[in-house]
Amino acid sequence: MSPLQIQKGTSRHSAYDLRDPHSDVEEVHTLAVLVDNEAGVLARVIGLFSGRGYNIESLTVAEVDHEGHLSRITIVTTGTPAVIEQIKAQLGRIVPVHDVHDLTVEGPAVERELALFKVKGSGDKRVEALRLADIFRANAVDSTLESFVFELTGTSAKIDAFAELMRPLGLIEMARTGVAALSRGV
Amino acid sequence: MTQAMTGAKMVVQALKDQGVEVVFGYPGGAVLPIYDEIFQQNDIRHILVRHEQGAVHAAEGYARSTGKPGVVLVTSGPGATNAVTGITDALLDSIPLVVLTGQVPTFMIGTDGFQEADTVGITRPCTKHNWLVKETDKLAATLHEAFHVATSGRPGPVLIDIPKDVQFASGTYTPPNGAGRSHYQPKVKGDIDTITQLVEAMEKAERPVFYTGGGVINSGPAASQLLRELVEATGFPITSTLMGLGAYPASGDKWLGMLGMHGLYEANLAMHGCDLMINIGARFDDRITGRIADFSPNSIKAHIDIDPSSINKVIHVDMPIIGDVGHVLEDMLRIWKSRGRKTNKPGLKKWWGQIDAWRQVDCLSFDPSPKTIKPQHALQRLEALTKDHDRYITTEVGQHQMWAAQFLGFEDPNRWMTSGGLGTMGYGFPASIGVQLAHPESLVINVAGEASWLMNMQEMGTTVQYRLPVKQFILNNERLGMVRQWQELLHGERYSHSWSEALPDFVKLAEAFGAKGIYCDNPDDLDDAILEMINHDGPVIFDCLVEKHENCFPMIPSGEPHNKMLLGDASTSDVIGSSGAVLV
Ligand SMILES: Cc1ncc(C[n+]2csc(CCOP(=O)(O)OP(=O)(O)O)c2C)c(N)n1
Ligand SMILES: [Mg+2]
């Protein structure tokens, strides 16, 4: 019996399980993990990934419910479908973890990252940098006669693209927050 | 009813309120306030071990044989690090433990203070959960939550690190039910639709097999009872992992024996050839599956487990059922009965015919010897002479452990304590101490190898001090036998450091501790010597000199599938391929 023959709604299978569990294709998934905001909880999550050999592409964490002492960890990870399922199950059994959401399979989600770019230059390059920043809707949040700091919010791909363009124009330093994500709609 | 008291007193109060009777521990500077409270009461018994690793294994033995959580109390720094092996052992075998460690005072944390270690950091990956408690007011709730987490869902060890100033300071004690409901509430009921699907598959299956594990034992005696009922009612064959022995009685006619690397021929071939595998509380460990790609290639697989992360971790299954084994078995039985108690009778009849043919192979047979004691023979005699006793068995790790699993029969759950997942040499002796404390009137035997036994031999002091009549049945082959066996099969018979040199005289060793020693190297004397051991009212070290080069069979070489099993020495040349050699 393959999982595909299991009648819909009759088992614990999620729609996700209807994909080939033996696939070797690595997928990128964004997970939102709601945790008690207590000492060591981030170490538990990170230790799980390093201890079991999973990948972390990006990780952000901050308290989102002060009264309930809850933090939200957003993790972008890669793995085969079977590994992704394991990661979610392993996260789910960490005691201070309340909820694990796979935003990649649960429906459309908004993913955003914030980045700061320091670009040094003068003359044409400086003008070109400013022009491109305008196209990308990046803000200059600091300027001197020989440098800018641009602030850009967007998908990771957009930030990558902007960084690529800035590199020949004098990009000397860059800071990224990692991905924050929410599902669309309610 | 809340009450003001010191942190140290809260610890003792919480243990009492949680029904704890015994604590295994070892004192030191960072737990002195708690020891002071222990001194001033009589409800909780403290057992002074001789090494913190011993405390944890003793608590494991206590827990495994009673179903209650084991409790450990050790000091900071070296006390905590010495406990780490035992804690990891309990994690891998899902044994509920509450480990309390002392810590330097909060204002010294991070200064590399005397006997400071980052205990929660060190034990984070080897506990189910752990806490550093920095405020006395939070201590009581944390202690109660610790018992809840250790014992609910998939059981496991938890640890609470308690700085010394938190022990001295006063705070408010809240009793267990006053602490509020924990958000940690694992699901115990399985999905009814999937259970029904499984029942449908059971009705049709021609070659079904129950593959059971430690989860049945952990679920409690009711689960074992339901399992027995289900096996008898359906007539399906049943095998079990090392950890699940005793859930179904070894004398039952549906019993195939243990499966896995050193499991029985009929059990492994039934797993390989079945068309429906019903995994109940086992986890497809690599000792069980052998080569994954060839594992039971033609079966539909159901997996009942309380831990969602066990599902599809190693083997992809068709019918995952997340829930407590006891609850799911109850639903399975009820649904199967309500649908008319159907099975595929002709299919089963043929299947049993096949199984009986496999049984004829008599895979546990060995060459008897009139001159030397064969380890298998020693265990057969031990079995014959003790099986009618109210008996508990612990083991160390090695060949003797596998032979014990093969040759001793377990009729009930919680009677067999062994280190399965971590394979910890040095487990069995302290575990036998914990078992004996829980069952003072019972016969408790540790089936040991001489090398493993030496790893925690200091606990002789504990057995003598507390008059614990544990029997240390050492199958002494003067070898790290299991290592030697692998070197023979895998490393061209180059026996690198796998013999036990400079062994003590075990009889004199027993006497030096004030216990009894028995030596036996003659098969003709064996029965009398075993009887002498059983009848002695006190701890015994039994030094049983056995054949030195006996190998443990059957054996599925690493990286091979179930049907590539070795049955005896004749079949062993060049057995393990280079891809298997990298496996452990
Ligand atoms: C703490 C620890 N160290 C090393 C090992 C590896 N190991 C497994 S079995 C074994 C030999 C055990 O010898 P013995 O206790 O005499 O048992 P035998 O195999 O001879 O019956 C060793 C070294 C282990 N399992 N645990
Ligand atoms: Mg040995």
Give the pLDDT confidence score for residue B179 in this predicted structure. Answer: 64
Residue B584's pLDDT band (boundaries 50, 70, 90)? low
Q: Enumerate the residues of chain A whose CB falls inside 8 A of the CB of residue B300.
A: 1
The answer to whether residues B359 and B402 touch, using CB atoms and an 8 Å cutoff, is: no
Strand B157-163 relative to strand B516-520, pairing:
unpaired
Chain A: nearest CA to B194, how far in angstroms?
5
Q: Which of A2, A21, A92 is the closest to B312 by Cβ? A: A21
A144/A174 same-domain check: yes
- Is B572 a residue whose pLDDT tops 90? no
Structure tokens at B46: 């403290």
Chain A: nearest CA to B67, how far in angstroms?
22
Residue B559's pLDDT band (boundaries 50, 70, 90)? confident
Here the CATH number for the domain that contains residue A149 is: 3.30.70.1150
Ligand with smallest separation from the Cα of B498? 1
pLDDT in tens, B300-322: 999 999 999 999 999 999 999 99
Here the CATH number for the domain that contains residue A81 is: 3.30.70.260
Structure tokens at B145: 């939550």
Question: In A13-80, which ranges are continuous DSSP H helix?
Answer: 41-51
> Domain boundary at A45, A71, A102, which?
A102
A114/A64 same-domain check: no
Express as a percent the part of chain B with pLDDT over 70.
97
- Extents of the domains making up chain B: 3-179, 192-360, 375-552
CA distance B109 to B361: 63
The 8-class DSSP code of residue A7 comes to P
- Is B473 a residue whose pLDDT tops 70? yes
> Domain boundary at A66, A85, A102, which?
A102
Give the pLDDT confidence score for residue B561 in this predicted structure. Answer: 85
Architecture of domain B375-552: 3-Layer(aba) Sandwich (3.40)
Q: Which of A69, A58, A72, A130 has the alpha carbon at shortest distance from A101? A: A72
**Domain assignment of residue A4, yes or no:** no
Mutate to test the interface with B, among A5, A6, A8, A12 (most CBs of B within 10 A): A12
**Domain assignment of residue A15, yes or no:** no
CB pairs under 8 A between A and B: 63
Structure tokens at B268: 């492994």
With residue B265 as reference, give the H or E element that holds it. helix B265-273
Residue B287's pLDDT band (boundaries 50, 70, 90)? very high
The answer to whether residues B217 and B246 touch, using CB atoms and an 8 Å cutoff, is: yes
Same fold, B192-360 and B375-552: yes
B102: helix, strand or coil = strand
How many Å separate Cα A94 from the centre of its chain? 21
Give the pLDDT confidence score for residue A5 in this predicted structure. Answer: 38
Which CATH number describes the domain made up of B192-360?
3.40.50.1220
Q: How many domains does chain A have?
A: 2
For ligand 1, atom 1, the nearest C-alpha belongs to: B425
Chain B: nearest CA to A40, how far in angstroms?
8
Residue B191 to residue A43, Cβ atoms within 8 A:
no
Which amino acid belongs to residue B535?
Answer: N
By mean pLDDT, which of A4-8, B295-299, B478-482 is the weakest? A4-8
A137/A175 same-domain check: yes
pLDDT in tens, B37-95: 999 999 999 999 999 999 999 999 999 999 999 999 999 999 999 999 999 999 999 99
A87/A113 same-domain check: no
Q: Enumerate the residues of chain B whose CB falls inside 8 A of the CB of residue A40.
A: 120-121, 124, 132
CA distances from B301 to B202, B208, B218, B297, B311 (A): 11, 10, 22, 10, 11
Q: Which domain holds residue A61?
A: 27-102
Residue B197 to residue A39, Cβ atoms within 8 A:
no
- Is A90 a residue whose pLDDT tops 50? yes
Tell me what the mean pLDDT of segment B174-185 comes to.
Answer: 85
A133/A81 same-domain check: no
pLDDT in tens, B86-142: 999 999 999 999 999 999 999 999 999 999 999 999 999 999 999 999 999 999 999
Give the pLDDT confidence score for residue A12 in this predicted structure. Answer: 40
Topology of domain B3-179 in CATH is: Rossmann fold (3.40.50)
A150/A83 same-domain check: no
**Domain assignment of residue A94, yes or no:** yes
- Is B445 a residue whose pLDDT tops 90? yes
**Domain assignment of residue A156, yes or no:** yes
**Domain assignment of residue A31, yes or no:** yes
CA distance A140 to A76: 28
Give the pLDDT confidence score for residue B178 in this predicted structure. Answer: 74
Residue B578's pLDDT band (boundaries 50, 70, 90)? low
- Is A17 a residue whose pLDDT tops 60? no
pLDDT in tens, A66-85: 999 999 999 999 999 999 99
**Domain assignment of residue A128, yes or no:** yes
Q: How far is the CA of B449 from the centre of ligand 2 (A)?
A: 4
- Is A65 a residue whose pLDDT tops 60? yes
- Is B467 a residue whose pLDDT tops 70? yes
Give the pLDDT confidence score for residue B489 in this predicted structure. Answer: 86
